Structure 1
Amino acid sequence: MRAVQLPISNPPLKGFLRWAYTLSITSIHEETIPWYFSNFIQLSCKKTFLEDGRQFYFDFFRGKPNELNFNNPFLLTCSVNYTILEFLPLDAWPQFFADQIRSGYYCVVFLDESRLSPAAAYQKEPFPHHLFLYGFDLDQAIFDASMFDHTGVYRNLQIPFTEFQDAVHSMRHLLKEGVKADHHTYFYKYEPHSPYPFDRTAAVDQLRDYLNGETHLNRINYNPDEEQAFGLKVYDYLQMYFDAVESNDSRLGDRSDVRHLHVLWEHKKMMSERIDYLVAEGIIPYDEELADGYRDITKRAMKLRDQYIRHEIRADKDVFERLRLRFDQFRKEEPVLLQKLIALLEGST
């Protein structure tokens, strides 16, 4: 076969590539949906971003390791580093990855994205990043890929073999010079899991962790990071971050990042969709206050994100007061709704 495309879906979460890449593989399969709605409840963020001057980090949390690293039960995962791939001549890389795709493996390749023309970092400073490959065409000499493009939109596009090789060559140089660390290249094959019904216990545990601002996920292997905040406590640090942006605090590792508000919206959207799923599946009875409450929070979170995007185009200082207002509202409203959801889940066993 001179051209192959493995099946993918439009991923339900796109805030960070670890979710977009893996969920674009699994979400197309109906049998993964109960697992999906049993998870993606917890949030975490970095607490010490002002003290150490590092970038503020805010995302879904599913324990450690992260989703690229053997954390999805429906994906058979292999990973290699550049040391293992050192034997592979640069001109053999396109064929090697085409062969893996032909064998049913989706490829997530660690390379220098500044050499890829659709990327925001194109022809700028080196930008080590993971690129998702799900297809190829040998006659056109292109890979079918998914990535965040120069506008920050996650989309499917085509990467010429020549750009791919240039990005790999640059990454090899960065590693050899010790400028960057190797974050590995991953290969994923979808493998149907044994039946995975919705897990009430796992969901309730995560909901309680979220309410209590803590985590118990995978503690058998990892202690919680003291520099991370969890659950409802993330609102304190989101507020701290945007206060620092407003005051142009010199300690900030990044000046302004709308992704934090996008992830916040995705979390509320996910919670609202989970409630709809639980009702549709007969797992909990319909509760108007719960369903409408999270729909309303979701709408306000989306509006907040969109207002901030407009602020970045045309400055609107009032947006920071709206951020404070919304964070306070969500912090007060969510516990009431989540306690109700927990009661419904525990009462439905």
Structure 2
Amino acid sequence: MSRKTLYFQEPEVSTYTPYGFLFSIINEPLWRWVFNNFIQIRYAYLWEMFAFDNHHILLKNCPGISYNQLPQELVIAKWGRSLKDLIIESIDRGYYVHLFVDRYYLSLTDSYKNGHHMHELFIYGYDLDKDMALVADNFVERFITAECPFSELEEGYWHVSDEYDFYTEIRFLKRKDFECDISMDQIAFELQNYLYSRPTFDLVVEQQFEFGFQALQRLLTDPQHRDTSSSEYRKFDLRAYHLLYEHKLLMDKRLAYLMEQGHMLYDQRLLDTSADLKQRYLSLRNLVLKYRFKEDEKLASSIYAKLQDNLEREQAFILSCLEKMKA
């Protein structure tokens, strides 16, 4: 067979590449695990980004994915320096491939021959007639699938810096059956942590974090957005605003599911508030998109005002959810 693809669907959540990948291969039972999690948001100082809790170990810890990784020396011992052979054998055995590449060598990226940029990439299939791998990533500030020549992938992978094993090791992921029950205690606990900015206690603390609404206040007070003398004045990070929208999208789905399945008493007012919040954060994200094409001071002021209003509405909404969960 010259072309083979593993299961892949349009993801509902895709702010970052791992999210796009997870939600592209998710099956129905795994949504209950999603609803138990994906509530707390943290800001990572070294990464300079907002993300869901446990962002960097999300795929490794997902109970619906078999996750294996090999250091580069074992990869070479098995497949030599042929990434193509590795991909074909992995896909044939039902494994997705997750690796880092230098985008300088990938013609479908804006870094092609224009600057070295290491970034993760997922491979879900191949086409031998075209000599292409089927890949997925946030290539154009949104998660898309594309065809990439094996030759470019070879260049991109073998030129990745070997300073850290994290960049050179290759991960192999496979979907597996998993049954999970809804945990109302966990959901309530996570909502409280998000609302009151309580930290998640990690086994290893690799950098400084801020959590919940305290972290989100950075979008209103960070000097990067407020200092008019800076060349970076009000350069809004679209990822943060898209994450906030997807956070509300998941909350809307979570709340509807909990009420449909009898985990919470039905409350149309609360559902309407949730849908309204989702739409408000979508409008806010779209306003940031508009600002990036037209850096207008009125737009910037409107973004800050809408964000402040959204955060206040969301805090009241979460308090109402927690009260309803006690009923």
- State TM-score, norm by structure 1: 0.85
For 1:156, which of 128, 145, 152 is the aligned residue? 145
Q: Displacement of 1:152 after TM fit?
A: 1.7
Q: Look up the match of 2:154.
A: 165
User: Letter of the aligned partner of 1:38 in structure 2?
Assistant: N
- Aligned residue pairs total 326
Give CA-to-partner distance per residue, 1:173-229, whole Å, 9 cap, x none: x32xx4996263211111112x2121212111101101110134xx37245x77211
Flag the 1:220–1:120 CA change in 2: closer, same or farther, 3 A. Answer: closer
Hey, what's the Cα distance between the residues in 1 that align with 2:130 and 2:164? 34
Distance across 2 between alignment mates of 1:325 and 1:30 = 38
Secondary structure of 1:83 counterpart: helix
1:104-139 per-residue CA deviation (whole Å, 9 max, x = no partner) reads 101112111221111122222111111111111222
Give the equivalent residue in structure 1 for 2:212. Answer: 231
1:198 maps to 182
Alpha-carbon distance in 1 for matches of 2:290, 2:207: 35
Conserved 8 A contact 2:35-2:182: yes
Task: Find the counterpart in structure 2 of residue 67 from structure 1.
Answer: 58
1:208 to 171, 187, 192: 192
| Change in CA separation of 1:237 and 1:7 when aligned onto 2, cut-off 3 Å | same
Residues 82 and 253 from structure 1, CA distance in 2 versus in 1: closer, same or farther, beyond 3 angstroms? farther
Matches of 1:186 and 1:122 in 2, distance apart?
A: 24
Structure 2 residue 114 is the aligned partner of structure 1 residue 124: yes
Aligned to 2:20: 20
Q: Does the alignment pair 1:142 with 2:147?
A: no
Give the CA deviation at 1:285: 2.4
Q: CA separation in 2, counterparts of 1:331 and 1:254? A: 19
Partner of 1:310: 290
User: Is the 8 Å Cα contact of residues 65 and 71 (structure 1) preserved in structure 2?
Assistant: no
Q: In the alignment, which residue of structure 1 is the partner of 2:48?
A: 56
Distance 1:255 1:220, change over 3 A: closer
8 Å contact 1:56–1:254 — kept in the other structure?
A: no
Fraction of identical pairs, as percent:
21
Cα distance between partner residues in 1 of 2:240 and 2:110: 18
2:174 is aligned with 1:189: yes
Q: Are the structure 2 counterparts of residues 64 and 295 from structure 1 closer, same or farther at C-alpha, using a change threshold of 3 Å?
A: closer
Cα gap change, 1:239/1:279 in structure 2, threshold over 3 Å: closer, same or farther? Answer: same
Alpha-carbon distance change, 253 to 332 in structure 1, aligned in 2, over 3 angstroms: closer
Cα drift, residue 252 of structure 1:
6.3
Structure 1, 130-139 or 275-284: larger mean CA deviation: 275-284
Q: Are the counterparts in 1 of residues 38 and 52 from structure 2 also a CA contact under 8 Å?
A: yes
1:87-118 per-position Cα deviation (integer Å, ceiling 9, x unaligned): 4433x210111101110101112111221111
Q: Is the 8 A contact 2:32 2:182 kept in 1?
A: yes
Could you tell me which residue of structure 2 aligns to residue 51 of structure 1?
A: none
Q: Is the 8 A contact 2:101 2:157 kept in 1?
A: yes
Shift of 1:22: 2.1
Report the Cα distance in structure 2 between the residues aligned to 1:192 and 1:249, rounded to whole angstroms: 54
* Equivalent residue, structure 2, for 1:38: 36
Q: Distance in 2 between matches of 1:157 and 1:315?
A: 31
Deviation at 1:82, TM superposition (A): 2.5
More moved, 281-290 vs 155-164:
281-290
Tell me, in whole angstroms, the C-alpha distance in 2 between the residues paired with 1:268 and 1:211: 14
Aligned ranges for residues 90-101 of structure 1 at < 5 Å?
90=81, 92-101=82-91
What is the alpha-carbon distance in structure 2 between the residues aligned to residue 181 and residue 188 of structure 1? 16
Partner of 2:241: 261
Whether the 8 Å contact between 2:226 and 2:233 is mirrored in structure 1 is no
TM-score (norm: length of structure 2): 0.90
Q: Which runs of 5+ in 1 are unaligned?
A: 49-53
